[in-house]
Amino acid sequence: MIKTIENNSIIIIPNNKKNDLIKQLNQQLLNIKIMSMEELIKKFTFDYNEKTIFELMTQENINYDIAENYIKNIYYIENKNYHNPKLNKLVEIKNYLQKQNLLIYDSLFKNYIKNKKIYILYDYITKYENQILNEINQITEVKKLEINYQNYTPVIHEFATINEEVNFVAYNICALIDKGIDINKIKLVNVSKEYYHEIKKTFKFYNIPINIEKKRIYGTKIINDFIKNYQEDINDTLKYIQQNYNLNNEQNLEIYNQLINILNEYSWCSNYIEIKELIINKLKTKTITPLNNNAIEITNLENITDEYTFILNFNQGNMPKIYKDEDYIDDLTKQKLNLETAIEKNIIEKEKTIKQIKNIKNCTITYKLKTPFASFYPSSIIEELNTDVIKKHEISNISYSEINDQITLTKKLDNLIKYGIKDDTLETLYANYQIPYLTYNNQYTKINKDALNNYLNDKLLLSYSSMDNYYHCAFKYYINNILKLNPYEETFATKIGTLFHTTLEQTLKNNDDYKKYWDQLVSSLQLTNKEKFFIDLLEETIQEDIKTIREQLKYCQLKETKYEEKIYVNNAKVTFMGIIDKLMYQPLEDKTVVALIDYKTGNTSIDLNRTYYGLSLQLPTYLYLASNSNLKNIKIAGFYIQNIIPKRDEENDALKLKGFSTTDKEILKQFDNAYENSNMIKGMRTKTDGEFYSYTKVLTNQQMDNLINLVDQKIKDASTNILNAEFNINPKQIGYGKDA
């Protein structure tokens, strides 16, 4: 076919076939333009970009996916009135985008293609694509090239379970490699997510490297930090990433470069807060280059050329793909627009799948009848592949995985002991392997320190909550913060916390009415009717909170306040990060007087006796963070918790600050000028001689410095132990009996 292509022409070919074509064309030195059908259509009609999607989202008050779906569908409609509300909606959207110059037209393309032959190298051309090609054919010649397919016969295997299916594939991959087949020529096709765990586990038993799925950059530490520190001036966010991540690390650099490329698509935007949803959507689509260069690749059937191919999951509904009538434009309307219906797509998909399978020389097909959760049927196209299905599989004397054999032995022993079923291979396996059957070890097995540091990218990020996990139980930290087996889930309690914190911050910072912040936040939350009822009850509480705090501020001389102050303390491989809810301060001669307040919607105990063991460190951590802030020569007036949702039995003193104050009365007076009988600080009172009562919680400057040094040491101890992979199971017991 290549020999028939003329110079100075255009070839329309799927993206996944472009590289193969380029290799062949390079041998002939032809001046050829290559593009996909989608690129051709966009050049000939119109294109769109992220600004188009954003403006439509704003105009219609819709999310990213819906906006993009609208735009993709306006290709199929004309500028006329339809007797169909959905189509008229598309016309309305198209007119809006045209009037706002949000659709991109290539005015030179039609002139460019004149006198250039256009060759089409596609298996199937849709009705809409044919329509466009017919229009192009009025300008220049369009020629469809026939693709020659082979007629090989695949081998099909049936298995009772997904475990047996994957084990068979792994075994046969080892056999191919044993025969000298290059691992890069072995491909897996049609691998759905339900197979990921089984493949990862089984292939590890056989020491088969595999790039099971392309790792998305969304969810990596860099991107998580990027989103957490997202600001209107995106350059500030990028500076934070540059300062806190080693960009000489190959993978870090790849993620960072992809991030920059995405941001460059939005150079038209002046306020990056407005397009945060778009940025996040883009981040979710980007992947990292697999770390294994010589490994089994998972790919699509369309990408297979002449490799050794295993098509798994050959079950009804999984292959061929089944289309349903669930698009924005329904099947009845598609018939009127001369577009393929779901039924027509399914016929095409079936024919295409059979043709592609028969074109593979070395093709092994497998399917299962059940998983632990469901039963399955074989694919409906098996009969049309004209081959027998192998249902009984002989056991080979060659073993490629001792650990898999040992696991198989345990299963067969289970069947023998529990059900009296003796397998034919049980004696052979039992004679060859001595296994610790029915024994276990409940101790933590230390993981590889170098592997852990590589996973952390040689950069450990600690916070109060993660350090608190470590000191409560080192294994708890490992489970939650390394393995991440306890992912964050938004509960009603966390929604209330966010609602109160944000409303207080915005209202007090802007000296504004709470109502507009409260209503805006409540409307953005997904709440059940029961939750809405409780939220309405809590509105009175937030009003009282703001009223009381404003009254308290009348006693305070600290006029500057930072809310949600994020502070980073960098030390070698460790960064400690913390957020102070409210940091009040005032420069005074050569010092800065500081008071630290943490808002609490729940109950928190304050017990400095536990700090020696690394527990109850939140308020002392605030001291540590403040001492490492950019404020000069700080003098701490006090550090406190403020319960903003009071318990019934303490409503009178509900919003009084609970914590520790300085013994330095001149400093304390700057924070509370009525400290002698305080309306701000719980239990703060002095005797007639000016001395503090014995129950008053006060600390000297030296004691506060000792607390700061203690926190610093606890951070160092935890960091050292974590980087050394010390995650022993050592839970702490606090109290006795029912309070333990």
CA distance 418 to 426: 15
* 686 secondary structure, DSSP code: B
Residue-wise DSSP of 365-417: EEEEEE-SS-B--B-TTTGGG--PEE---PPPS--S-HHHHHHHHHHHHHHHH
Q: Using an 8 Å Cβ cutoff, are 705 and 624 in contact? A: no
Work out the angle at residue 397's Cα, subtended by the Cα atoms of residues 396 and 401, and round it to the nearest 5 degrees. Answer: 85
> Which among 386, 377, 323, 326 is positioned nearest to 354, based on CA atoms?
386
- Measured in degrees and rounded to the nearest 5, phi and psi for residue 368 equal -115, 160
pLDDT score recorded for residue 77? 94
Return the bridge partners of 11, or none.
Answer: 34, 119
Letter for the amino acid at 525? L
209 and 259 fall within a common domain: no
Instruction: Check if the beta carbon of residue 143 is closer than 8 Å to that of residue 125.
Output: no
**Residue 388 confidence (pLDDT):** 92
Residue at 241 is within a domain: yes
Whether residues 381 and 425 share a domain: the answer is no
Same domain, 367 and 426: no
Q: How many domains does the chain have?
A: 5
CATH of the domain at 353: 3.40.50.300
Q: What residues make up the domain containing 239?
A: 221-283
Q: Are residues 246 and 320 in the same domain?
A: no
Tell which residue, 87, 69, 77, has the closest CA to residue 128.
77
Shared domain for 58 and 191, answered yes or no, is: no
Q: Which of 94, 119, 144 is the last residue of a domain?
A: 144
Note whether 700 and 588 are same-domain residues: yes
Residue 500 lies in a domain: no
Look at residues 624, 660, 625 and name the one whose alpha carbon lies nearest to residue 640.
660
pLDDT of residue 647: 67
Beta-carbon contacts of 693 under 8 Å, excluding residues fewer than 6 positions away, are 683, 685, 686, 687
How confident is the model at residue 68, as a pLDDT? Answer: 93
Q: Which of 125, 144, 163 is the last residue of a domain?
A: 144
Work out the burial of residue 539: count CB atoms within 10 Å of its CB; fewer than 13 is exposed, 13-18 middle, 19 or more buried: middle
Residue 518 in domain = no
Dihedral sign, Cα of residue 330, residue 332, residue 338, residue 342: positive
- Let me know whether 704 and 573 are in one domain: yes
Q: In terms of domains, do 171 and 312 share one?
A: yes
Find out whether 502 and 651 touch, Cβ atoms under 8 Å.
Answer: no
Query: By CB neighbour count within 10 A (0-12 exposed, 13-18 middle, 19+ buried), where does 402 fall?
Result: exposed
199 found inside a domain = yes
Residues 631, 664: one domain? yes
Question: How far is Cα 520 from Cα 507, in angstroms, rounded to an integer?
Answer: 13
Following CA atoms 122, 125, 128, 131 in sequence, which dihedral angle do they give, to the nearest 10 degrees?
90
Same structural domain, 674 and 610: yes
Return d(Cα 530, Cα 615) in angstroms, integer: 36
Rounded distance between C-alpha atoms, residue 252 and residue 223, angstroms: 10
**Residue 325 pLDDT:** 93
Q: Is residue 414 part of a domain?
A: yes
| Cross-strand partners of 643 | 600
- Asked whether residue 543 is assigned to any structural domain, the reply reads no
Query: Nearest to residue 16, comparing CAs of 299, 212, 282?
Result: 299
Q: Which of 148, 146, 145 is nearest to 5 (CA)?
A: 145
Q: Is residue 499 part of a domain?
A: no
Is the peptide bond preceding residue 731 cis, with omega within 30 degrees of 0? no
DSSP-assigned letters across all residues of 513-555:
-HHHHHHHHHHHS---HHHHHHHHHHHHHHHHHHHHHHHHGGG
Q: Are residues 121 and 8 in the same domain?
A: yes
Would 29 be classed as within a structural domain? Answer: yes
Q: Are residues 135 and 245 in the same domain?
A: no
DSSP 8-state symbol, 3: G
Q: How many helices (H) and strands (E) does the chain have?
A: 26, 18
- Separation between Cα atoms, residue 668 and residue 675, nearest integer Å: 7
What is the greatest pairwise CA distance in the chain?
A: 106
Average pLDDT per block of 10 residues along the chain, 740 residues long: 78 86 73 92 95 92 90 94 93 96 94 92 93 95 88 94 94 95 94 92 93 81 85 85 85 89 86 84 83 84 86 94 92 94 95 93 95 90 92 82 90 90 85 85 86 83 92 93 78 85 88 87 82 87 90 91 89 87 91 92 77 90 92 93 74 80 94 92 91 92 94 94 92 64
Q: Of 116, 144, 172, at which residue does a domain stop?
A: 144
Distance spanning both ends of the chain, measured CA to CA: 79
**For the purposes of burial, counting CB atoms within 10 Å of the CB of 629, is it exposed (0-12), middle (13-18) or buried (19 or more)?**
middle
Predicted TM-score (pTM) of the model is 0.65
